[in-house]
Amino acid sequence: MIPDARGLPRASPHPVSKRMHMSPSTTDPRSAKAVVELKGVVKRFASFTALRQMDLTIREGEFFTMLGASGCGKTTTLRLIAGFELPTEGQILIAGQDVSDVPAHLRPVHTVFQNYALFPHLSVLDNVAFPLKVHRVAKPERMERARAALDLVQMGNFADRRPSQLSGGQQQRVALARALVNEPRVLLLDEPLGALDLKLRKEMQAELKAMQRRLGITFIFVTHDQEEALTMSDRIALMKGGEIIQLDTPSGLYDRPASAYVADFIGETNMVPARILSSDAQGTMVEAMGGQLRVAGSFDQPAGTEVKLAFRPERVGEAVSETDNSVEGRLADIEFIGTDLRMTHHMADGSRIVLRRQNSGLAVPDLGEIRKLSFRPKDLRIFGL
């Protein structure tokens, strides 16, 4: 990147063909420098506050995802980074430069939208070359760079076709090529896979992640699909009500949720009522599901406090001895979901919990059977009401 007249980074004038065929990135995003920073950013629309005092650092070469339900502020954050919206308060920095009031076309970023926004009357090649034409790049250079970008997304053989002659996945690749042709410092992706069917979406998830690793470009991805976020991301910002409620790695969000909301939003979680019996440095004893269970770690509330006990369906085992950390439940339902069996149990206190077992082909227990279910203390989490 070289600076433009305002001192902001912009794409190199050299043909993209030499830069697009990069070796896989070896940069560890955890140790990389910041490329996008939001400092105390607030965004208001009239009386509605869409973002509340957001502080966020996104690193060079990172696949960063903003995840949350509709209306949580994730798309607003993306639009602020892109320059389509300007902050009410605070600063936005890209590559160390304050771009808070810089218009979108002068920022070293590019956005890929869900609807692709391809020109139907132009060929695939001309669609990809169009941003370079806007920037008055000479025709021989822009055609070379456009073809290199199409090769990168494995669409070089479709250069002469029109968008209407392509499948949804192919159109998505063309939109990516058009975004990459300007060699952006940051690529913004606003739910770009939402219009694809399930199988193609999963294929594109793998392709996007592989492409990001190969190029070493920072990807900032917006989605409401928690499985998509877990599959692709280096880090995830889970948002609610215009705020980040947990920023972590996929495994951190899944295994160490900071609140009951996070535990419930990410993956499938059993959440049952419980009561604190005792707590010390060795762990916490709770009464739940008609029995007593030990939970790893102390909980700073007195005995008798009502809480929620959370655990993942795949982390429940079958007790093999009376000394196991276990309770009894009656098997009420079995769902066959291909690779797994999903088994619902009714517990003595009236709660229902779900277990997941790999479909190994072994005998399935009978409905109505009373089963002793075991829990490792480290797999149980306590949340306040």
pLDDT, one tens digit per residue, over 364-379 is 889 999 999 999 999 9
Residues 355 and 249 in one domain: no
Q: Is the predicted pLDDT of residue 171 greater than 60, yes or no?
A: yes
Residues 248 and 321 in one domain: no
Sequence-ordered list of residues with C-beta below 8 angstroms from that of 137, at least 6 positions apart, any chain: 13, 145
Spatial CA neighbour of 99 closest among 89, 110, 88, 91: 91
pLDDT (mean) for 281-308: 93
Which tens digit of pLDDT belongs to each residue from 67-100? 999 999 999 999 999 999 999 999 999 999 999 9
* pLDDT at residue number 27: 52
Residues 134 and 67 in one domain: yes
pLDDT (mean) for 273-288: 93
> What CATH number is associated with residue 137?
3.40.50.300
Residues 222 and 371 in one domain: no
Residue 17 — very low, low, confident or very high, per pLDDT cuts 50/70/90? Answer: very low
* pLDDT at residue number 31: 62
Residues 107 and 255 in one domain: yes
Residue 360 — very low, low, confident or very high, per pLDDT cuts 50/70/90? Answer: confident
Spatial CA neighbour of 77 closest among 111, 114, 38: 38
Residues 182 and 290 in one domain: no
- Among residues 213, 233, 262, the one where a domain terminates is 262
* pLDDT at residue number 207: 81
> What CATH number is associated with residue 367?
2.40.50.140
- Among residues 262, 289, 319, the one where a domain terminates is 262
Task: State the Cα–Cα distance between residues 276 and 309, nearest whole angstrom.
Answer: 10
Which tens digit of pLDDT belongs to each residue from 105-153? 889 998 888 777 889 999 999 999 998 988 899 999 999 999 998 988 8
Is the CB of residue 347 less than 8 Å from the CB of residue 283? Answer: no
Residues 103 and 181 in one domain: yes
Domain span at 154: 2-262
Angle formed at CA 190 by CA 189 and CA 193, multiple of 5 degrees: 85
For the chain, the straight-line distance linking the first and the last C-alpha, in angstroms and rounded, comes to 51
Residues 53 and 74 in one domain: yes
Q: What is the mean pLDDT of the chain?
A: 87
Residue 176's SS3 state is helix
Q: Report pTM.
A: 0.83
Q: Is the predicted pLDDT of residue 5 greater than 80, yes or no?
A: no
Alpha carbon dihedral 80, 83, 84, 86, in 10-degree steps, equals 60
- Among residues 262, 277, 304, the one where a domain terminates is 262
Share of the chain above pLDDT 90, in %: 63
Could you tell me whether strands 218-223 and 186-190 are parallel, antiparallel, or unpaired per DSSP bridges? parallel
Residues forming a β-bridge with 329: 347, 371
Letter for the amino acid at 102? V
Residues 23 and 118 in one domain: yes
Structural domain count of the chain: 2
Share of the chain above pLDDT 70, in %: 90
Residues 137 and 253 in one domain: yes
Is the CB of residue 237 less than 8 Å from the CB of residue 247? Answer: yes
Task: State the Cα–Cα distance between residues 367 and 19, nearest whole angstrom.
Answer: 61
Helix axes 198-215, 168-180, angle to 10 degrees: 20
Spatial CA neighbour of 188 closest among 265, 96, 84: 84
Residues 302 and 221 in one domain: no
Task: State the Cα–Cα distance between residues 385 and 380, nearest whole angstrom.
Answer: 16
* pLDDT at residue number 10: 44
Tokens of 267: 């993956």
Residues 371 and 241 in one domain: no
